[in-house]
A and B are shown apart, each in its own frame.
Chain A
Amino acid sequence: AQSVSQHNHHVILSEAASLELGCNYSYGGTVNLFWYVQYPGQHLQLLLKYFSGDPLVKGIKGFEAEFIKSKFSFNLRKPSVQWSDTAEYFCAVNPDSNYQLIWGAGTKLIIKP
């Protein structure tokens, strides 16, 4: 069965540290890839997405992600985090346009001021 793995369930960083959150998926075909963010007490919103083209995708708030097909990975990065990045981050994969999204379990990110 298709699955999405987010390696870290909890990450704690200091402000200005660099961030990388891992995401791996198990589907071998063409995929659409998403990162969503959920700020405390809020609903999920899209950070960035990859459908095709340049595998380095830039999103909102300085986030980027790199699609590495050979590694089945779509890791999220930010060079310098801020306290306001404290949130839960979800990776999601759509293995087929006629299928629903497969979600990772999420990574809770806490940024210490």
Chain B
Amino acid sequence: DADVTQTPRNRITKTGKRIMLECSQTKGHDRMYWYRQDPGLGLRLIYYSFDVKDINKGEISDGYSVSRQAQAKFSLSLESAIPNQTALYFCAASTGPDEQFFGPGTRLTVL
């Protein structure tokens, strides 16, 4: 079984729409993360959560919000999508500061 799953895998939407990307993990990791990946820019952290009641902004949180509904679930929302949010989004999970396990990614296109 995959450790971290993401839905949807691909999404095309229009400017101004609200979008939610979902992430689930099955191994009981305490920490979860949302990243976006753009060509040539590497991985940039959007939000991270060290436990259910702990949510922190990352490097590029503007225009995004998150919800940690349970230890296993961490969703990312774009309240009003804009074209420069077109990117590949990865969720990851870890136990403490150890290895992060990544989901398969969501390719989001905002027209």
A46 CA to B102 CA, complexed, in Å: 9
- The size bracket of the interface on B is 20 to 34
Residues of A within 8 A of B97 (CB): 32, 94, 96-99
Is the beta-carbon distance between B104 and A105 smaller than 8 angstroms?
Answer: no
| The residue from B43, B96, B98 contacting A90, defined by CB atoms under 8 A apart | B43
Is the beta-carbon distance between A103 and B43 smaller than 8 angstroms?
Answer: yes
A97 CA to B45 CA, complexed, in Å: 17
Residues of B within 8 A of A96 (CB): 97
Give B32 Cβ to nearest chain A Cβ, in Å: 11
Chain B at the A interface: SS class: strand
Q: In residues 77-111 of chain B, which contact A (Cβ within 8 Å)?
A: 90, 92, 96-100, 102-105
Residues of A within 8 A of B44 (CB): 103
A34 CA to B99 CA, complexed, in Å: 8
Is the beta-carbon distance between B42 and A103 smaller than 8 angstroms?
Answer: yes
Is the beta-carbon distance between B102 and A44 smaller than 8 angstroms?
Answer: yes
Is the beta-carbon distance between B41 and A105 smaller than 8 angstroms?
Answer: yes
Residues of A within 8 A of B96 (CB): 97
A49 CA to B48 CA, complexed, in Å: 21
* Chain B CB within 8 A of A101 CB: yes
Beyond the given A32-B97, A34-B99, A97-B97, please list 7 additional residue pairs across the A-B interface where CB-CB is below 8 A. Answer: A43-B90, A43-B104, A44-B43, A98-B97, A100-B45, A100-B58, A103-B43
* Chain B residues at the A interface, C-beta cutoff of 8 Å: 33, 40-45, 48, 50, 56, 58, 90, 92, 96-100, 102-105
